Amino acid sequence: MLTLIGGGARSGKSSYALSLGNSVIDSGKRALFVATAEAVDDEMEQRIAKHKVERRSEYDLIEEPRELAKVLIQARDYDIVIVDCLTLWLSNLMLENIEPDFEDVIEAGRSINSAVVFVTNETGEGIVPMHPISRKFRDLSGQMNVAFAKYCDQVVAMKFGIPMVLKGITDVK
């Protein structure tokens, strides 16, 4: 099962994804956390450190900023895989002028028997950015979110820390 969790900055996306993973760990099963962030500056290092503190030690961790499909295919032995986050993955690819292949990542997630949870940011509800690269990022992230939402079994929007099911099962935490 593929799940997409989206929302604005600090809306509770990662915490909600971890709550799903924690439930799996509590039942004695294996969980993998795939982090796409890179510590490119002091502020990002602090964000990453905060996320590590919030994550339980039972998670296996792979830090992979670009090769998500490859990581997912190799994650067959896990009961749940959390990818946090697609938006940073997209940003990492754009910074290196690599064309993102959304379908490749989606297919990789669908090809394994694990539950896969993708975390993403909603970037299109704000103002139109002034810089062309920022507009391209906003447009690509919107296209990415639409592509993932189309193929995910469940889509959850986070608003003010509250999960709202847009697609799929309604039994959310």
High-pLDDT (> 70) share of the chain, %: 98
Active-site amino acid positions = 51
Average pLDDT of span 44-73:
93
pLDDT tens digits, one per residue of 106-137:
999 999 999 999 999 998 887 888 889 999 99
Go through the domains of the chain in sequence order and give each one's CATH number.
Answer: 2-167 (3.40.50.300)
Task: Report the predicted TM-score, pTM, of the whole model to 2 decimal places.
Answer: 0.93
pLDDT over threshold 80, residue 170: no
Q: Residue 102's pLDDT is what?
A: 97
Q: How far apart are CA 5 and CA 12, in angstroms?
A: 10
Strand, helix or coil for residue 35: strand
CA distances from 54 to 22, 51, 97, 120, 128 (A): 11, 5, 32, 18, 33
pLDDT over threshold 70, residue 23: yes
